[in-house]
Structure 1
Amino acid sequence: MKNKILILCLACLWLAHDGLFAQEISPRTVFSLNEGWECRPITTVNRKAPFTPVTIPHTWNASYIEGTTLYDRKMMVYQRPLVMTEAMKGKRLFLYFEGVNSAAQVFLNRRTIGEHLGGYTAFCFEITDQVKEGENLLEVWVSNAYRTDILPISGDFNVNGGIHRPCHLIVTEQDCISPLFYASPGVFIHQEDISQTAADVNVETHLSLRNKKQGLKLKTTITDAANKIVASSEVGVSDAIVKQPMKINRPVLWDGKKNPYLYTVTVGLYDGNQLKDRIVQRTGFRHFSVDHEKGFFLNGEYLNLYGFCRHEDAAGRASALLPEDYRMDMELIKESGATAMRLAHYPHAEPMYDLSDENGIILWTEIPMCGPGGQAFAGFVDTEGYKDNARLAVKELVYQKFNHPSICFWGICNEILVSDGKRFVEYDNPIPFIKELNGIYKSIDSSRLTALATCVDQSYYLGCSDLIAWNKYFGWYKDAAPSASKFFDDCKNSSNGIPVGVSEYGGGASINHHQWPLAMEDRSDSHFHPEEAQTFCHEGNWESFAKRPYLWAKFIWVFADFPSYMRQEGETDGYNDKGLVTHDRKTKKDAFYFYKANWNPEPMIYITSRRFIKRENPQTDIKVFTNLKEATLYINNKRIGTMKPDDMNRVVWKNIQLDKGRNTIRVEGKNGKELLSDTCEWYCIK
């Protein structure tokens, strides 16, 4: 009895925190269910094993474990009380999960509600007819165990298990805009003809009607950034899917970083004059294209697309990120000057799409169909379970993210291998299925372009997507960075008119590893990853890419270091250290500042190899990245000389002799009358 009273008291506290004791519920109310959870391993033989209190988002892989043997892929059970209040009577109730990795089985009062396979898209279940008055027990059984019917089956990253994105309870009237259609907003803003003169759009709304179809109507308004109505439509409801053509005269176009202008689309479902439900979506109106010879165009003007691939992983949280984590990443991306981002290798959480909309960052977003690495090296198996999961992933991605103007490219797959007669195994042929997925993308959304990333002969993939791009690491694995020029020129000339881009390039670095003079060697399997090698690799690649506007996008691998159980290289096993920012986001590596000097017009000056503090060789080059007109070098307050940067915004003083002991390195440059400087200290022991 005491235990029951304690549980009820705890439930009341949790529900009060969630706000579920509100006296009145508006036509649609969304309650957070992030608090009040507890979890434990479901494989335990001790049924009395204690639960551990947790807050969502949560993953059991948040704590980094060095190496590959203790990467945990298992099953856990999460549970929490769910109380149906008096105000919820006569309403419809939906459980909405933004992401559970990878397989989720949901139970209410020990009865099955539903199952979802896939860890990076949202899902929604209605519980109206299963929930009882008062307290209910909500359970979610979660597994990130390896399965061939859940993507990804391969890949060079960790699949973090848990309810790693927020979850909610949605309460609506009996007639509502459906949250069940692939867990989407239920409202899709089709951009049919966009120009500076007019924006012709078609707002498609999916309804879920339990009471009646007669007498209902949809009122839709589009308002500008000043909250002024620029278009409106009111139609009667005669079907569960309603389409409303609308026109905005002389729209302000969403123009990337130049002007990421957003409109607000509000769709209201009415019974007479009574509001029954409302959905609000932000969007921007734009048109774009990619030319085989000239590259990417936004609203008719060339836009040089460059930026990072980004994994959704941060130190101490793994993929269970908080709002401040997304904001921090976006601020760093903006600081670099990037214009685009590839969200690798799965759909990311909603905040990153919102921030990209708001800041004008062009996105490539993709499903988790990837290889190589892991159990299934090729990344594809020709089974119905695998293919059904990929088909579902495409539909969920497109419908859930449909209204984001930042998304220009739907990604089909990454590094799926094809049997080429050069390997000892014969892989299942992925090409027919890749073409099928391309068709699904285009059937849902013909306004955007499809893309895929390859690391093998592109001839296999020509005709599988609108665009093709390469994961190619010149200067890191084998070939020197200057080889990129000929390689991509050859790819362009043999692509049958399909635009060619760079989906990944780069190299690894530890901020604690340094070398001078720099030895040119393949470091991919080495545990010594000097920061200077990464910087040199990026400089060489960008010199090639910057001269080739036909490359429709150039994406660095990768924004930040991240765990990968299969890696045994660099300073720390179990890590991919190709990030230009450290896993904890505290340190920007030298290569980050190379791109900042070239991409961001904000005046800057930066000394490289600044963390190479203890030096045995008294003779060294001193390299500075700057977008100023000239830079002056001082060592221990002695003026060494003034130089102008080259076309890659580099200044290099060669064969500089350091003093024995402390050397204070200072560089200065002027931006008009403003003096900019950077300083670091080195110690020469000889």
Structure 2
Amino acid sequence: MDGRTAARINDDWSFRFASQVSGRGIRVDLPHTWNAGDALSGNAAYQRTTGVYEKRLKYDPSWNGRRVILRFEGANQNVAVWVNSRLAGTHKGGYTAFAMDITDLLREDADNLLTVRVSNALDQDVMPLVGDFNMYGGLYRDVWLYTVDPLHVSLADYGSKGVYLTQKSVSRERGDVEAAVVVSNSGLEATSGKVKVTVADGSRIVASGEGRFDCQADSSVRVTVDLSIKNPHLWDGRKDPFMYEATAVVTDADGNVTDRVSEALGLRWFGVDADNGFMLNGRSYPLRGVCRHQDRAERGNALLPEHHREDAEIISEIGATGVRLAHYPQAEEFYGLMDRYGIVVWAEIPFVGPGGYLDRGYTASPEFHANGRQQLVEMIRQHYNHPSICFWGLFNELKTHGDNPTAYVGELNELAHAEDPTRLTTGASNIDASDPLSFTTDLIAWNKYYGWYGGSARDLGRWLDDTHKRHGDLRIAISEYGAGASIYHQQDSVKPGILSGMWHPENYQTEFHRQNWQAIAERPYVWGSFIWNMFDFGAAHRTEGDRYGINDKGLVSFDRKVKKDAFYFYRANWNDEIPTLYIAERRHDIRSSELTDVTVFASHPEVELRLNGRSLGKMTPQGLSTFVMKGVRLVPGVNVVEACAKDGSVDRVEWRLERQ
């Protein structure tokens, strides 16, 4: 057989809780979480316990002479796997992949029973310890069954694909790449062979090279191949996210192909300047970003490919050039989507502090330190080849009193650079810029909520200027900024909601973002800004907004069905590919005030406003793609408001005036 086989084995599992001591489990298909109901109902005591998954696996004669490997893309968070009641392995960490060779545990003459115990209970040795999000339990990502020749590209190197494409030097004239391939020999005897790596643009080979190896029995060897591409076609963000295909082929001493693995290769170079921000391929490339959690209504974190695709499409539609995938490594599928959309990624490990809550996110124990190092190495190796990833995030909102994590973050920073010398490290802080923690990573960013958690939205610009002046050597960004909003909470005037209460008016979120974005857009030294959040997300302990259990700071509703007004504000400002014409406060459709201001977000140079078929005049933008006509007088009953652009596009809403 030429190479490997790979198949998802997501269907027809049995699930039960470990506390169930008799009877049968229920049939489930993966991905699956047991917390889609209780956590999303606002039950802060949702089940953080142990679940048991079982599946019958029939032996296939084609497996004879080959190795059979299970690969779990994600299981939250501590896992033990048995095959026919014999332990195959364990893994600690809920957001990275892991693989187990089960060949020697299989029976050829009967069905094989796979048993997977998964626990999402708090473990003081495992990141994360706390977080303003749900710790859903379960086999919530795909499970794969691979068969490979005994001489194969390793699947056991921290759950990675075993191929690492290091961009040693990239320019418009030349791209130098080192391909490192980890070859495993699971046979009983030492062997030799060759690895050939080719880089292709469609059917055209643009670079190739090979390396020979000798490998002892039951061991692995790292084979490096140097490649050079003249006048490379660059991965150039949203404008041109081009990628080559790099293929590694392993042959044995007799020249027989034993394995082949292909990975995308997007060549680019980037950097961050303390005064001029992010640069991509030698030009300024402001990172207008959003944050994303990997959950949604009714599914929790057990997302299907179509859910990832929908999220990527919405992030692209708003015009984002960057995304922070918070607060943990997310699905492999999503990193691939960001590659293809040309959106720069901040990827991070789940080293999460308590933020404004009680408790701590750090345990100064050898076991916790080891687990953090493990999760960092897994994240980097598993996602090493994604051109979209430019930043490795090492922490979020840590506290530095008591057991201080600063030295440990420094160790993680050194480890990240040892694993990957080509990317920059960063962290998300909510403490003073003068704290030593701010200087442990290459870059630093802050979570700032002026105008929501105290202060005024106007304070952000002052804080940025002061921090940049006092710490000119720091390369700074805004890792989070946002305000809650319910699409059901509407009001005549713009007034703040009750941040920890049940009133989160949508129009205040819009004004919050308008003021915050203006402050950010005026300061080119801010290397990136990331809205918290792109989507509403589950947080079982929250009792605010229009229902319990939801953080409603998203620009899009939890079920992805409604894009809030602030979404269109950003689309009008960020996306020059899709025309925007949008009347704000459209859901405030029952009104009591006769006079109202009408706000339109538009990417057009001029907008005409009509009321009940009568023109009220033409408007030009008042900055930030925002058009406002003040003092529009509504009539009792239904009012039809239309915004019209020169290209013939029209946006239309109906508001009813009901006098009190």
TM-score band, normalised by shorter chain: over 0.9
Are 2:293 and 1:325 equivalent residues in the alignment? no
Picking from 384, 387, 402, the partner of 2:384 is 402
Letter in 2 for 1:265: A
Which position in structure 2 is the counterpart of 1:185? 161
2:343 is matched with which residue?
361
Q: Offset at 1:494?
A: 2.4
Match of 2:523 among 536, 540, 548: 548
Q: Distance in 1 between matches of 2:357 and 2:477?
A: 28
User: Cα offset for 1:28?
Assistant: 0.6
Give the aligned partner of residue 380 of structure 1. Answer: 362
CA distance in 2, matches of 1:199, 1:683: 62
User: 1:73–1:145: 8 Å Cα contact kept in structure 2?
Assistant: yes
Pick from 638, 650, 655: which aligns with 1:682?
Answer: 655
Superposed CA deviations along residues 182-211 of structure 1, whole A, max 9, x for unmatched, are 010101001101111111111001111133
The equivalent residue for 2:197 is 220
What one-letter code is carried by the residue in structure 1 that aligns with 2:425? Answer: T
Contact 2:339 2:388 survives alignment (8 Å):
yes
The alignment yields a C-alpha RMSD, in angstroms, of 1.3
What corresponds to 1:275 in structure 2?
257
- Contact (CA 8 Å) 1:231, 1:246: kept in 2 or not? yes
SS in 2 for 1:565: strand
The one-letter amino acid paired with 2:299 is: R
Structure 1 unaligned blocks of 5 or more: 1-24, 420-426
What pairs up with 1:338-349 in 2 under 5 angstroms? 338-349=320-331
Give 1:103's aligned residue: 78
Cα deviation digits, residues 128-176 of structure 1 (max 9, x gap)? 2121213110000011111111211011000110000000111111111
1:55 aligns to 2:1 (yes or no): no
Cα shift readout 1:467-506 (whole Å, capped 9, x = no counterpart): 0001001111111111111101111122351200010001
1:658 and 2:634 matched? yes
**TM-score, scaled to structure 1:** 0.93
Alpha carbons of structure 1 residues 301 and 512: separation in structure 2 relative to 1, 3 Å: same
- Tell me the secondary structure at the aligned position of residue 251 of structure 1: coil
Distance in 2 separating the partners of 1:247 and 1:456: 45
Matched, 1:564 2:539: yes
Match of 1:465 in 2: 441
2:218 aligned partner: none
Partners of 1:575 and 1:214 lie apart in 2 by 56
2:241 is the counterpart of 1:260: yes
Rounded to whole Å, the distance in 2 between the matches of 1:219 and 1:539 is 53
Deviates more, 1:368-377 or 1:499-508: 368-377
Give runs of aligned pairs for residues 503-582 of structure 1, distance below 5 A.
Answer: 503-519=479-495, 521=496, 523-582=498-557
2:426 pairs with one of 426, 447, 451: 451
Task: Supply the distance in 1 between the matched residues of 2:147 and 2:177 (Cα, whole angstroms).
Answer: 29
2:580 counterpart residue number? 604
- Cα shift at 1:50: 2.5
Q: Are residue 643 (structure 1) and residue 631 (structure 2) matched?
A: no
**Aligned-pair CA distance for 1:510:** 0.2
Is 1:392 the counterpart of 2:374? The answer is yes
Which residue of the partner structure matches residue 13 of structure 1? Answer: none
Unaligned residue ranges in structure 2 (runs of 5+): 216-220
User: What TM-score do you get using the length of structure 2 for normalisation?
Assistant: 0.96
Give the secondary-structure state (helix, strand or coil) at the position aligned to 1:639. strand
Per-residue CA deviation, residues 422-470 of structure 1 (Å, 9 max, x unaligned), is xxxxx31110001111111011101000000001112222321000001
> Which whole-Å deviations, capped at 9, do the CAs of 1:402-438 have from their partners, x for residues lacking one?
000000000000001122xxxxxxx311100011111
- Aligned-pair distance for 1:273? 2.6
Give me the whole-angstrom Cα distance separating, in 2, the residues matched to 1:570 and 1:120: 29
Describe the superposition over 1:330-354 as per-residue Cα deviations: whole angstroms up to 9, x where unpaired: 1111110110100000000011110
Q: Distance in 2 between matches of 1:542 and 1:67?
A: 31
Pick from 458, 461, 470 the counterpart of residue 482 of structure 1: 458
Tell whether the 8 Å contact from 2:355 to 2:430 is kept in structure 1 after alignment.
no
Q: Equivalent residue of 2:33, what SS?
A: coil
Could you report, residue by residue, the CA deviation over 1:110-144 in whole angstroms, capped at 9, with x for unpaired residues? 11111111110000111121212131100000111
Separation in 2 of the partners of 1:478 and 1:376? 19
Partner of 1:442: 417
Q: Is the 8 A contact 1:154 1:374 kept in 2?
A: no
Question: Which AA in structure 2 matches 1:668?
Answer: C
137, 154, 168: which is aligned to 2:144?
Answer: 168
Say if 2:355 and 2:398, in contact at 8 Å, map to a contact too.
Answer: no
Contact 2:165 2:177 survives alignment (8 Å) = yes
Indicate yes or no: 2:174 matched with 1:201. no
Which residue identity is paired with 1:676? Answer: S
Q: 1:385: how far off? A: 2.0
CA positional deviation for 1:525: 1.3
Identify if the C-alpha distance between structure 1 residues 151 and 55 changes in structure 2 by more than 3 Å, giving closer, same or farther.
same
Listed one character per residue, the Cα deviations across residues 54-94 of structure 1 (whole Å, up to 9, x for unaligned) are: 00111011236432344221111000011222111111111
Q: State the secondary structure of the residue aligned to 1:208.
A: strand
Please give the alpha-carbon distance, in whole angstroms, between the structure 2 residues aligned to 1:501 and 1:342: 12
State whether residues 13 and 29 of structure 2, in contact with CA within 8 Å, keep that contact through their aligned partners in structure 1. Answer: yes
Distance in 2 between residues matched to 1:458 and 1:378, nearest whole Å: 20
Deviation at 1:616, TM superposition (A): 1.3
